[in-house]
Chain A
Amino acid sequence: MAQSIIRTDKLVFRYTTEAGAAPAVLDGVSLSVRPGEFVAVLGHNGSGKSTLAKHLNAILLPSGGKVYVDGMDTCDEDRLLDIRRQVGMVFQNPDNQIVASVVEEDVAFGPENLGVPSAEIRQRVDAALAAVGMSEYARHAPHLLSGGQKQRVAIAGVLAMRPRCIVLDEPTAMLDPVGRKEVLDTVRLLNREQDMTVVLITHHMDEAAQADRLVVMHDGHIVADDRPELVFQNVDGLRTLGLEVPEPVALLYELRQAGVDVPLTALTVDECAAILRKLLA
Protein backbone atom coordinates (compact mmCIF):
# COMPACT_ATOMS: atom_id res chain seq x y z
CA MET A 1 0.00 0.00 0.00
CA ALA A 2 1.77 3.10 -1.21
CA GLN A 3 -0.65 5.46 0.46
CA SER A 4 0.00 4.43 4.07
CA ILE A 5 2.11 6.78 6.20
CA ILE A 6 3.47 4.09 8.43
CA ARG A 7 3.80 0.48 7.47
CA THR A 8 5.44 -2.28 9.47
CA ASP A 9 6.10 -5.52 7.67
CA LYS A 10 6.50 -8.64 9.83
CA LEU A 11 8.36 -6.54 12.38
CA VAL A 12 10.41 -8.56 14.88
CA PHE A 13 12.33 -7.03 17.75
CA ARG A 14 14.36 -8.66 20.48
CA TYR A 15 16.72 -7.08 22.94
CA THR A 16 20.13 -8.68 22.65
CA THR A 17 21.75 -9.39 25.99
CA GLU A 18 25.17 -10.80 26.81
CA ALA A 19 23.57 -14.17 27.42
CA GLY A 20 22.37 -14.19 23.81
CA ALA A 21 19.10 -13.26 22.16
CA ALA A 22 16.19 -12.71 24.49
CA PRO A 23 12.66 -13.73 23.55
CA ALA A 24 11.09 -11.45 20.95
CA VAL A 25 9.26 -8.40 22.33
CA LEU A 26 7.63 -7.91 18.94
CA ASP A 27 6.98 -11.00 16.88
CA GLY A 28 5.80 -10.48 13.32
CA VAL A 29 3.82 -7.28 13.67
CA SER A 30 2.32 -6.07 10.39
CA LEU A 31 0.41 -2.85 10.62
CA SER A 32 -0.30 -0.02 8.24
CA VAL A 33 -1.59 3.40 9.16
CA ARG A 34 -3.36 5.54 6.56
CA PRO A 35 -3.20 9.35 6.49
CA GLY A 36 -5.75 11.03 8.76
CA GLU A 37 -6.46 7.92 10.78
CA PHE A 38 -6.76 7.89 14.58
CA VAL A 39 -5.38 4.53 15.67
CA ALA A 40 -5.26 3.42 19.29
CA VAL A 41 -2.89 0.63 20.28
CA LEU A 42 -4.07 -1.15 23.39
CA GLY A 43 -2.35 -3.74 25.50
CA HIS A 44 -1.29 -4.36 29.07
CA ASN A 45 2.27 -3.92 30.35
CA GLY A 46 4.77 -6.01 28.46
CA SER A 47 2.55 -6.49 25.42
CA GLY A 48 5.10 -4.70 23.24
CA LYS A 49 3.03 -1.60 22.50
CA SER A 50 5.66 0.92 23.61
CA THR A 51 8.38 -0.99 21.79
CA LEU A 52 6.24 -0.80 18.67
CA ALA A 53 5.88 2.97 19.15
CA LYS A 54 9.65 3.42 19.35
CA HIS A 55 10.01 1.68 15.97
CA LEU A 56 7.72 4.16 14.25
CA ASN A 57 10.33 6.93 14.18
CA ALA A 58 13.53 4.93 14.22
CA ILE A 59 14.35 5.25 17.93
CA LEU A 60 14.59 1.47 17.83
CA LEU A 61 15.48 -0.43 14.68
CA PRO A 62 13.90 -3.79 13.82
CA SER A 63 15.74 -7.05 14.49
CA GLY A 64 13.74 -8.54 11.64
CA GLY A 65 11.19 -7.31 9.13
CA LYS A 66 10.86 -3.69 7.98
CA VAL A 67 9.32 -0.41 9.05
CA TYR A 68 8.47 2.17 6.37
CA VAL A 69 7.61 5.79 7.12
CA ASP A 70 6.17 7.54 4.07
CA GLY A 71 7.97 4.98 1.92
CA MET A 72 11.32 5.45 3.69
CA ASP A 73 12.95 2.45 5.36
CA THR A 74 13.74 3.38 9.00
CA CYS A 75 17.04 1.49 8.73
CA ASP A 76 18.25 4.08 6.20
CA GLU A 77 20.39 6.39 8.32
CA ASP A 78 20.56 9.11 5.66
CA ARG A 79 16.82 9.62 5.91
CA LEU A 80 16.75 9.66 9.72
CA LEU A 81 15.90 13.36 10.07
CA ASP A 82 13.23 13.14 7.36
CA ILE A 83 11.65 10.20 9.15
CA ARG A 84 11.62 11.93 12.51
CA ARG A 85 10.25 15.10 10.99
CA GLN A 86 7.33 13.10 9.53
CA VAL A 87 6.53 11.17 12.68
CA GLY A 88 6.60 13.17 15.91
CA MET A 89 6.62 11.45 19.27
CA VAL A 90 5.16 12.39 22.65
CA PHE A 91 6.22 10.41 25.72
CA GLN A 92 4.74 9.49 29.06
CA ASN A 93 6.63 11.78 31.43
CA PRO A 94 5.99 15.42 30.56
CA ASP A 95 8.97 16.65 32.60
CA ASN A 96 11.51 14.56 30.76
CA GLN A 97 10.72 15.80 27.27
CA ILE A 98 10.69 19.56 27.78
CA VAL A 99 14.09 20.97 26.89
CA ALA A 100 13.92 24.71 27.46
CA SER A 101 12.96 26.82 30.46
CA VAL A 102 10.41 28.94 28.56
CA VAL A 103 7.39 27.36 26.85
CA GLU A 104 7.82 29.04 23.45
CA GLU A 105 11.55 28.29 23.39
CA ASP A 106 10.76 24.65 23.96
CA VAL A 107 8.23 24.56 21.13
CA ALA A 108 10.87 26.19 18.91
CA PHE A 109 13.41 23.44 19.66
CA GLY A 110 12.29 21.07 16.90
CA PRO A 111 12.19 23.62 14.04
CA GLU A 112 15.51 25.09 15.26
CA ASN A 113 17.08 21.67 14.89
CA LEU A 114 15.67 21.41 11.38
CA GLY A 115 17.30 24.70 10.41
CA VAL A 116 14.06 26.56 9.72
CA PRO A 117 14.58 30.35 9.26
CA SER A 118 13.85 32.48 12.38
CA ALA A 119 10.76 34.28 11.08
CA GLU A 120 9.14 31.01 10.06
CA ILE A 121 9.96 29.40 13.43
CA ARG A 122 8.07 32.25 15.10
CA GLN A 123 4.98 31.56 12.94
CA ARG A 124 5.17 27.84 13.52
CA VAL A 125 5.53 28.26 17.29
CA ASP A 126 2.54 30.60 17.49
CA ALA A 127 0.43 28.29 15.32
CA ALA A 128 1.43 25.19 17.31
CA LEU A 129 0.66 26.83 20.65
CA ALA A 130 -2.69 28.06 19.33
CA ALA A 131 -3.52 24.55 18.08
CA VAL A 132 -3.13 23.08 21.58
CA GLY A 133 -4.74 26.09 23.28
CA MET A 134 -1.60 27.18 25.13
CA SER A 135 -0.97 30.57 23.47
CA GLU A 136 -1.42 32.52 26.69
CA TYR A 137 1.32 30.48 28.37
CA ALA A 138 3.96 31.15 25.70
CA ARG A 139 6.24 33.06 28.07
CA HIS A 140 5.70 30.82 31.11
CA ALA A 141 8.17 28.49 32.78
CA PRO A 142 7.19 24.87 32.03
CA HIS A 143 7.79 23.62 35.58
CA LEU A 144 4.96 25.84 36.84
CA LEU A 145 2.38 24.29 34.49
CA SER A 146 0.06 21.39 35.33
CA GLY A 147 0.75 17.92 33.94
CA GLY A 148 -1.93 18.25 31.25
CA GLN A 149 -0.58 21.64 30.19
CA LYS A 150 2.97 20.26 30.00
CA GLN A 151 1.79 17.44 27.75
CA ARG A 152 0.03 19.97 25.52
CA VAL A 153 3.29 21.92 25.30
CA ALA A 154 5.05 18.68 24.34
CA ILE A 155 2.43 18.11 21.63
CA ALA A 156 2.94 21.69 20.39
CA GLY A 157 6.70 21.00 20.27
CA VAL A 158 6.01 18.11 17.94
CA LEU A 159 3.46 20.05 15.85
CA ALA A 160 5.98 22.84 15.21
CA MET A 161 8.03 20.36 13.16
CA ARG A 162 4.96 20.04 10.88
CA PRO A 163 4.81 16.22 11.02
CA ARG A 164 2.30 14.12 9.12
CA CYS A 165 1.77 11.79 12.04
CA ILE A 166 1.97 12.00 15.84
CA VAL A 167 2.72 8.96 17.96
CA LEU A 168 1.75 9.35 21.61
CA ASP A 169 3.22 6.76 23.98
CA GLU A 170 0.89 6.60 27.00
CA PRO A 171 0.69 10.40 27.18
CA THR A 172 -1.86 10.38 30.00
CA ALA A 173 -0.34 7.72 32.25
CA MET A 174 1.03 10.26 34.72
CA LEU A 175 -1.87 12.72 34.61
CA ASP A 176 -4.95 13.29 36.76
CA PRO A 177 -8.42 12.93 35.18
CA VAL A 178 -8.57 16.65 34.25
CA GLY A 179 -5.15 16.47 32.56
CA ARG A 180 -6.15 13.28 30.74
CA LYS A 181 -9.24 14.91 29.32
CA GLU A 182 -7.26 18.01 28.24
CA VAL A 183 -4.72 15.91 26.36
CA LEU A 184 -7.28 13.58 24.78
CA ASP A 185 -9.47 16.48 23.64
CA THR A 186 -6.43 18.18 22.11
CA VAL A 187 -5.44 15.03 20.24
CA ARG A 188 -8.96 14.48 18.92
CA LEU A 189 -9.23 18.08 17.82
CA LEU A 190 -5.94 17.83 15.90
CA ASN A 191 -7.12 14.65 14.25
CA ARG A 192 -10.45 16.15 13.21
CA GLU A 193 -9.57 19.70 12.30
CA GLN A 194 -6.03 19.40 10.98
CA ASP A 195 -6.42 15.89 9.64
CA MET A 196 -3.41 14.81 11.66
CA THR A 197 -2.66 11.10 11.71
CA VAL A 198 -2.58 9.93 15.32
CA VAL A 199 -1.24 6.72 16.85
CA LEU A 200 -2.19 6.61 20.51
CA ILE A 201 -0.55 3.98 22.69
CA THR A 202 -2.62 3.46 25.83
CA HIS A 203 -3.89 1.05 28.41
CA HIS A 204 -7.03 3.02 29.20
CA MET A 205 -10.11 1.49 27.56
CA ASP A 206 -12.06 4.76 27.47
CA GLU A 207 -9.20 6.46 25.57
CA ALA A 208 -8.96 3.58 23.13
CA ALA A 209 -12.71 3.77 22.58
CA GLN A 210 -12.35 7.30 21.16
CA ALA A 211 -10.19 6.18 18.24
CA ASP A 212 -11.37 5.30 14.72
CA ARG A 213 -9.47 2.07 14.81
CA LEU A 214 -8.29 -0.10 17.65
CA VAL A 215 -5.30 -2.42 17.55
CA VAL A 216 -4.97 -4.81 20.48
CA MET A 217 -1.55 -6.23 21.26
CA HIS A 218 -0.64 -9.21 23.37
CA ASP A 219 2.78 -10.82 23.82
CA GLY A 220 4.26 -9.06 20.81
CA HIS A 221 1.42 -9.98 18.45
CA ILE A 222 -1.52 -8.05 17.09
CA VAL A 223 -4.59 -9.96 18.31
CA ALA A 224 -7.29 -7.60 17.08
CA ASP A 225 -7.45 -4.73 14.60
CA ASP A 226 -10.83 -3.21 13.90
CA ARG A 227 -13.27 -0.43 14.79
CA PRO A 228 -13.39 -0.05 18.61
CA GLU A 229 -17.07 -0.97 18.94
CA LEU A 230 -16.41 -4.22 17.08
CA VAL A 231 -13.26 -5.06 19.04
CA PHE A 232 -15.03 -4.51 22.35
CA GLN A 233 -17.81 -6.92 21.40
CA ASN A 234 -15.43 -9.75 22.14
CA VAL A 235 -15.68 -9.23 25.89
CA ASP A 236 -14.58 -12.75 26.86
CA GLY A 237 -11.62 -12.69 24.48
CA LEU A 238 -10.36 -9.39 25.89
CA ARG A 239 -10.81 -10.57 29.46
CA THR A 240 -8.69 -13.67 28.87
CA LEU A 241 -5.94 -11.27 27.72
CA GLY A 242 -6.26 -9.39 31.01
CA LEU A 243 -8.00 -6.41 29.42
CA GLU A 244 -11.25 -4.90 30.67
CA VAL A 245 -13.86 -3.41 28.32
CA PRO A 246 -15.26 0.13 28.78
CA GLU A 247 -17.94 0.37 31.47
CA PRO A 248 -20.94 0.87 29.11
CA VAL A 249 -19.98 -2.28 27.21
CA ALA A 250 -19.46 -4.17 30.47
CA LEU A 251 -22.94 -3.18 31.64
CA LEU A 252 -24.59 -4.25 28.39
CA TYR A 253 -22.61 -7.48 28.47
CA GLU A 254 -23.92 -8.29 31.96
CA LEU A 255 -27.47 -7.60 30.77
CA ARG A 256 -26.94 -9.89 27.85
CA GLN A 257 -25.59 -12.62 30.10
CA ALA A 258 -28.76 -12.23 32.14
CA GLY A 259 -30.82 -12.89 29.02
CA VAL A 260 -31.72 -9.36 27.92
CA ASP A 261 -31.35 -8.85 24.19
CA VAL A 262 -29.15 -5.73 23.83
CA PRO A 263 -26.39 -4.94 21.32
CA LEU A 264 -22.85 -4.45 22.65
CA THR A 265 -22.06 -1.45 20.45
CA ALA A 266 -22.30 1.39 22.98
CA LEU A 267 -18.92 3.02 23.74
CA THR A 268 -20.11 6.09 25.60
CA VAL A 269 -22.48 6.54 28.51
CA ASP A 270 -24.89 8.43 26.23
CA GLU A 271 -25.04 5.65 23.68
CA CYS A 272 -25.56 3.14 26.46
CA ALA A 273 -28.37 5.25 27.94
CA ALA A 274 -30.04 5.46 24.54
CA ILE A 275 -30.01 1.68 24.17
CA LEU A 276 -31.43 1.21 27.67
CA ARG A 277 -34.13 3.82 27.03
CA LYS A 278 -35.18 2.02 23.87
CA LEU A 279 -35.29 -1.25 25.80
CA LEU A 280 -37.51 0.19 28.51
CA ALA A 281 -39.83 2.02 26.12
Chain B
Amino acid sequence: MALRDITLGQFFPGTSPIHSLDPRAKLVAMVCYIVALFLGQWFVTYAILLLVLAVVVAVSTVKPKALVRGLKPVVFILVFTAVLNMFYTPGEPLVSFWIFNITKEGILHAFFMVVRIVMLISCTFLLTYTTSPLALTDALESLMGPLKKLRVPVHELSMMMSIALRFIPTLIEETDKIMSAQRARGADLDSGGLIQRAKALIPLLVPLFISAFRRADELATAMECRCYHGGEGRTRMKQLHYRPGDVLFMLGASALAVSIGVLGHFGL
Protein backbone atom coordinates (compact mmCIF):
# COMPACT_ATOMS: atom_id res chain seq x y z
CA MET B 1 0.00 0.00 0.00
CA ALA B 2 1.50 3.28 -1.06
CA LEU B 3 0.36 5.48 1.78
CA ARG B 4 3.00 7.98 0.80
CA ASP B 5 1.16 8.87 -2.38
CA ILE B 6 -1.70 10.49 -0.51
CA THR B 7 -1.25 14.21 -0.96
CA LEU B 8 -2.73 15.79 2.11
CA GLY B 9 -3.60 19.40 2.22
CA GLN B 10 -4.19 19.10 -1.53
CA PHE B 11 -2.40 22.34 -2.31
CA PHE B 12 -1.46 22.98 -5.96
CA PRO B 13 1.06 25.85 -5.93
CA GLY B 14 0.48 28.45 -8.62
CA THR B 15 0.71 32.12 -9.47
CA SER B 16 -2.88 32.89 -10.53
CA PRO B 17 -4.72 35.92 -9.09
CA ILE B 18 -6.74 33.50 -6.93
CA HIS B 19 -3.56 31.97 -5.52
CA SER B 20 -2.17 35.36 -4.61
CA LEU B 21 -5.28 36.61 -2.84
CA ASP B 22 -4.99 37.06 0.91
CA PRO B 23 -6.03 33.74 2.52
CA ARG B 24 -8.37 35.61 4.86
CA ALA B 25 -10.15 37.17 1.88
CA LYS B 26 -10.57 33.73 0.32
CA LEU B 27 -11.88 32.26 3.57
CA VAL B 28 -14.41 35.06 4.05
CA ALA B 29 -15.50 34.85 0.42
CA MET B 30 -15.99 31.10 0.74
CA VAL B 31 -18.23 31.54 3.77
CA CYS B 32 -20.28 34.17 1.87
CA TYR B 33 -20.58 31.84 -1.09
CA ILE B 34 -21.80 28.96 1.09
CA VAL B 35 -24.37 31.23 2.74
CA ALA B 36 -25.55 32.28 -0.73
CA LEU B 37 -25.85 28.60 -1.73
CA PHE B 38 -28.28 27.93 1.10
CA LEU B 39 -30.26 31.12 0.59
CA GLY B 40 -30.93 30.45 -3.10
CA GLN B 41 -34.37 29.09 -4.02
CA TRP B 42 -34.53 29.51 -7.75
CA PHE B 43 -32.95 28.04 -10.91
CA VAL B 44 -31.59 31.39 -11.99
CA THR B 45 -29.81 32.00 -8.65
CA TYR B 46 -28.04 28.65 -9.00
CA ALA B 47 -27.14 29.47 -12.58
CA ILE B 48 -25.60 32.71 -11.34
CA LEU B 49 -23.71 30.93 -8.55
CA LEU B 50 -22.47 28.27 -10.95
CA LEU B 51 -21.27 30.95 -13.33
CA VAL B 52 -19.40 32.68 -10.50
CA LEU B 53 -17.78 29.38 -9.53
CA ALA B 54 -16.86 28.65 -13.15
CA VAL B 55 -15.23 32.07 -13.55
CA VAL B 56 -13.21 31.66 -10.33
CA VAL B 57 -12.11 28.15 -11.36
CA ALA B 58 -11.07 29.45 -14.78
CA VAL B 59 -9.05 32.30 -13.26
CA SER B 60 -7.45 30.01 -10.67
CA THR B 61 -6.08 27.68 -13.41
CA VAL B 62 -7.11 24.71 -11.24
CA LYS B 63 -8.03 21.85 -13.57
CA PRO B 64 -11.78 21.07 -13.42
CA LYS B 65 -10.70 17.41 -13.43
CA ALA B 66 -9.14 17.92 -9.99
CA LEU B 67 -12.43 19.28 -8.67
CA VAL B 68 -14.35 16.32 -10.09
CA ARG B 69 -11.86 13.97 -8.43
CA GLY B 70 -12.59 15.68 -5.13
CA LEU B 71 -16.28 14.90 -5.59
CA LYS B 72 -15.78 11.15 -6.04
CA PRO B 73 -15.76 10.19 -2.34
CA VAL B 74 -19.08 11.97 -1.73
CA VAL B 75 -21.03 10.36 -4.58
CA PHE B 76 -22.65 7.99 -2.10
CA ILE B 77 -23.80 10.85 0.12
CA LEU B 78 -25.13 12.68 -2.95
CA VAL B 79 -27.19 9.71 -4.11
CA PHE B 80 -28.44 9.10 -0.59
CA THR B 81 -29.52 12.73 -0.14
CA ALA B 82 -31.20 12.80 -3.55
CA VAL B 83 -33.17 9.59 -2.90
CA LEU B 84 -34.26 10.66 0.58
CA ASN B 85 -35.39 14.06 -0.67
CA MET B 86 -37.19 12.54 -3.61
CA PHE B 87 -39.30 10.15 -1.54
CA TYR B 88 -39.87 12.10 1.62
CA THR B 89 -40.96 15.49 0.35
CA PRO B 90 -44.72 15.82 0.58
CA GLY B 91 -46.56 17.34 -2.38
CA GLU B 92 -48.26 16.55 -5.65
CA PRO B 93 -47.44 12.89 -6.50
CA LEU B 94 -46.07 12.17 -9.96
CA VAL B 95 -45.39 8.48 -9.67
CA SER B 96 -46.55 6.25 -6.87
CA PHE B 97 -46.15 2.57 -6.18
CA TRP B 98 -46.72 0.59 -2.97
CA ILE B 99 -45.90 3.02 -0.12
CA PHE B 100 -43.58 5.23 -2.18
CA ASN B 101 -44.58 8.53 -3.71
CA ILE B 102 -42.34 10.58 -5.94
CA THR B 103 -43.53 14.16 -5.90
CA LYS B 104 -42.73 17.05 -8.18
CA GLU B 105 -41.53 19.03 -5.15
CA GLY B 106 -39.41 16.06 -4.14
CA ILE B 107 -37.60 15.96 -7.46
CA LEU B 108 -37.00 19.70 -7.36
CA HIS B 109 -35.80 19.51 -3.76
CA ALA B 110 -33.49 16.61 -4.50
CA PHE B 111 -32.06 18.44 -7.50
CA PHE B 112 -31.37 21.61 -5.49
CA MET B 113 -29.84 19.67 -2.63
CA VAL B 114 -27.44 17.83 -4.95
CA VAL B 115 -26.49 21.06 -6.73
CA ARG B 116 -25.86 22.74 -3.38
CA ILE B 117 -23.63 19.98 -2.06
CA VAL B 118 -21.68 19.70 -5.31
CA MET B 119 -21.04 23.44 -5.43
CA LEU B 120 -20.26 23.61 -1.72
CA ILE B 121 -17.63 20.88 -1.99
CA SER B 122 -16.21 22.37 -5.19
CA CYS B 123 -15.73 25.76 -3.60
CA THR B 124 -14.08 24.38 -0.45
CA PHE B 125 -11.77 22.30 -2.60
CA LEU B 126 -10.99 25.37 -4.65
CA LEU B 127 -9.90 27.08 -1.43
CA THR B 128 -7.60 24.25 -0.33
CA TYR B 129 -6.23 23.76 -3.87
CA THR B 130 -5.17 27.40 -4.14
CA THR B 131 -4.13 28.13 -0.53
CA SER B 132 -1.24 26.49 1.32
CA PRO B 133 -2.27 24.85 4.61
CA LEU B 134 0.09 27.18 6.41
CA ALA B 135 -1.55 30.26 4.91
CA LEU B 136 -4.93 28.85 5.92
CA THR B 137 -3.93 28.38 9.55
CA ASP B 138 -2.47 31.89 9.55
CA ALA B 139 -5.75 33.21 8.13
CA LEU B 140 -7.76 31.38 10.79
CA GLU B 141 -5.52 32.71 13.55
CA SER B 142 -5.90 36.24 12.23
CA LEU B 143 -9.67 36.04 11.67
CA MET B 144 -10.26 34.50 15.08
CA GLY B 145 -7.98 37.10 16.69
CA PRO B 146 -10.83 38.98 18.37
CA LEU B 147 -11.79 35.76 20.21
CA LYS B 148 -8.54 36.12 22.20
CA LYS B 149 -10.38 38.68 24.30
CA LEU B 150 -12.82 35.93 25.26
CA ARG B 151 -9.83 33.86 26.38
CA VAL B 152 -10.09 31.48 23.44
CA PRO B 153 -6.54 30.10 22.95
CA VAL B 154 -6.40 31.14 19.30
CA HIS B 155 -2.62 31.11 18.93
CA GLU B 156 -2.30 27.70 20.59
CA LEU B 157 -5.02 26.23 18.37
CA SER B 158 -3.42 27.47 15.18
CA MET B 159 0.01 26.28 16.37
CA MET B 160 -1.45 22.83 16.99
CA MET B 161 -3.05 22.82 13.57
CA SER B 162 0.13 23.75 11.74
CA ILE B 163 2.18 21.20 13.69
CA ALA B 164 -0.43 18.53 12.94
CA LEU B 165 -0.20 19.38 9.24
CA ARG B 166 3.59 19.28 9.42
CA PHE B 167 3.60 15.81 11.01
CA ILE B 168 1.01 14.12 8.79
CA PRO B 169 3.56 13.05 6.14
CA THR B 170 6.06 11.98 8.82
CA LEU B 171 3.49 9.82 10.59
CA ILE B 172 2.24 8.33 7.32
CA GLU B 173 5.78 7.31 6.47
CA GLU B 174 6.13 5.80 9.93
CA THR B 175 2.87 3.86 9.57
CA ASP B 176 4.19 2.48 6.29
CA LYS B 177 7.37 1.32 8.03
CA ILE B 178 5.54 -0.28 10.95
CA MET B 179 3.19 -2.06 8.53
CA SER B 180 6.15 -3.52 6.66
CA ALA B 181 7.82 -4.51 9.91
CA GLN B 182 4.70 -6.28 11.20
CA ARG B 183 4.16 -7.99 7.84
CA ALA B 184 7.73 -9.21 7.95
CA ARG B 185 6.84 -10.89 11.25
CA GLY B 186 3.86 -12.57 9.68
CA ALA B 187 1.08 -10.16 10.62
CA ASP B 188 -1.91 -10.44 8.30
CA LEU B 189 -3.30 -6.95 7.78
CA ASP B 190 -5.43 -7.34 4.65
CA SER B 191 -7.66 -10.37 5.03
CA GLY B 192 -10.41 -11.56 7.32
CA GLY B 193 -13.61 -9.96 8.47
CA LEU B 194 -14.09 -6.52 9.89
CA ILE B 195 -13.39 -7.55 13.49
CA GLN B 196 -10.29 -9.50 12.52
CA ARG B 197 -8.95 -6.56 10.57
CA ALA B 198 -9.63 -4.20 13.43
CA LYS B 199 -7.73 -6.56 15.72
CA ALA B 200 -4.86 -6.64 13.25
CA LEU B 201 -4.57 -2.86 13.63
CA ILE B 202 -3.57 -3.09 17.30
CA PRO B 203 0.06 -4.10 16.63
CA LEU B 204 0.13 -1.16 14.23
CA LEU B 205 -1.40 1.48 16.45
CA VAL B 206 0.50 0.75 19.64
CA PRO B 207 3.99 1.39 18.21
CA LEU B 208 2.65 4.33 16.22
CA PHE B 209 1.25 5.99 19.34
CA ILE B 210 4.38 5.35 21.38
CA SER B 211 6.53 6.88 18.69
CA ALA B 212 4.16 9.84 18.29
CA PHE B 213 4.44 10.58 22.02
CA ARG B 214 8.22 10.36 21.85
CA ARG B 215 8.23 12.70 18.87
CA ALA B 216 5.98 15.15 20.69
CA ASP B 217 8.34 15.17 23.64
CA GLU B 218 11.39 15.80 21.49
CA LEU B 219 9.63 18.44 19.44
CA ALA B 220 8.59 20.27 22.60
CA THR B 221 12.22 20.35 23.76
CA ALA B 222 13.39 21.53 20.34
CA MET B 223 10.77 24.29 20.34
CA GLU B 224 11.85 25.42 23.80
CA CYS B 225 15.45 25.52 22.60
CA ARG B 226 14.32 27.90 19.89
CA CYS B 227 12.87 30.23 22.49
CA TYR B 228 9.20 29.32 21.96
CA HIS B 229 7.19 30.76 24.83
CA GLY B 230 3.64 30.99 23.53
CA GLY B 231 2.07 33.61 21.30
CA GLU B 232 3.02 36.58 23.44
CA GLY B 233 5.55 38.91 21.86
CA ARG B 234 5.80 36.72 18.79
CA THR B 235 6.26 38.29 15.35
CA ARG B 236 5.77 36.71 11.94
CA MET B 237 8.07 36.65 8.96
CA LYS B 238 5.18 36.83 6.54
CA GLN B 239 2.57 39.26 7.72
CA LEU B 240 -0.83 39.21 6.10
CA HIS B 241 -1.78 42.42 4.33
CA TYR B 242 -5.12 43.22 2.74
CA ARG B 243 -4.61 44.74 -0.69
CA PRO B 244 -7.33 46.53 -2.69
CA GLY B 245 -7.94 43.34 -4.70
CA ASP B 246 -8.58 41.33 -1.52
CA VAL B 247 -11.07 43.89 -0.25
CA LEU B 248 -12.87 43.95 -3.62
CA PHE B 249 -13.04 40.15 -3.66
CA MET B 250 -14.59 40.04 -0.19
CA LEU B 251 -17.01 42.87 -0.99
CA GLY B 252 -18.06 41.09 -4.19
CA ALA B 253 -18.66 37.83 -2.35
CA SER B 254 -20.69 39.46 0.41
CA ALA B 255 -22.70 41.46 -2.15
CA LEU B 256 -23.46 38.16 -3.91
CA ALA B 257 -24.65 36.58 -0.64
CA VAL B 258 -26.80 39.59 0.27
CA SER B 259 -28.43 39.91 -3.14
CA ILE B 260 -29.20 36.20 -3.35
CA GLY B 261 -30.56 36.37 0.19
CA VAL B 262 -32.87 39.21 -0.84
CA LEU B 263 -34.01 37.32 -3.94
CA GLY B 264 -34.61 34.23 -1.83
CA HIS B 265 -36.66 36.26 0.61
CA PHE B 266 -39.05 37.12 -2.22
CA GLY B 267 -39.30 33.45 -3.11
CA LEU B 268 -37.15 33.65 -6.22
Residues of chain A touching chain B, judged by Cβ–Cβ distance below 8 Å, are 57, 59, 81, 84-85, 88-89, 91, 93, 95-102, 104-105, 108-118, 121-122, 125, 141-143, 157-158, 161
Contact = CB atoms under 8 A, between A and B. Distances in A.
Q: Is the interface of B mostly helix, strand, loop or mixed?
A: helix
Contact of B226 (A104, A113, A122): A113
B166 A99 contact: yes
A85 B134 contact: no
Interface string B205-218: 00000000011001
Contact of B223 (A81, A99, A114, A141): A99
Contacts of A112: 234-237
Contacts of B182: none
Given A99-B219, A121-B236, 16 more contacts: A59-B221, A59-B224, A59-B225, A89-B225, A91-B222, A93-B215, A100-B134, A100-B166, A101-B134, A109-B226, A112-B237, A118-B237, A121-B235, A142-B166, A143-B173, A158-B226
Given A95-B170, A109-B228, A115 B233 contact: yes
B133 interface: yes
B78 interface: no
Interface in B185-242: 214-215, 218-219, 221-229, 233-239
B132 interface: yes
Interface of B: 132-134, 162-163, 165-166, 169-170, 173, 214-215, 218-219, 221-229, 233-239
Nearest to A101: B166
Contacts of B226: 84, 88, 99, 109-110, 113, 157-158, 161
B235 A115 contact: yes
Nearest to A118: B239
Contact of A125 (B214, B219, B237): B237
Contacts of B162: 99-101
29 contacts: A57-B225, A59-B221, A59-B225, A81-B227, A84-B227, A88-B226, A91-B218, A93-B215, A96-B218, A96-B222, A97-B218, A97-B222, A99-B163, A99-B166, A100-B162, A101-B133, A102-B132, A102-B134, A112-B237, A113-B228, A116-B235, A117-B235, A118-B236, A118-B237, A122-B237, A141-B169, A143-B170, A143-B173, A158-B226
B227 A118 contact: no
Contacts of B236: 108, 112, 118, 121
A105 B237 contact: yes
A98 B225 CA distance: 12
A104 B236 CA distance: 12
Nearest to B166: A101
Contacts of A115: 233-235
Contacts of B235: 111-112, 115-118, 121
7 pairs of A and B residues whose beta carbons are closest in the complex:
A97-B222, A96-B218, A108-B237, A110-B226, A121-B237, A89-B225, A143-B169
A47 to B, nearest CB: 20
Contacts of B233: 115
A98 B165 CA distance: 12
Contact of B218 (A93, A118, A143): A93
B175 to A, nearest CB: 14
B219 A97 contact: yes
A81 B163 contact: no
Contacts of A161: 226-227
A114 B227 contact: yes
Nearest to B174: A95
A96 B229 contact: no
A85 B237 contact: no
Q: Which of B173, B224, B225 has the most CB of A within 10 A?
A: B225
Nearest to B133: A101
Given A101-B165, A102-B132, A110 B219 contact: no
Contacts of A143: 169-170, 173
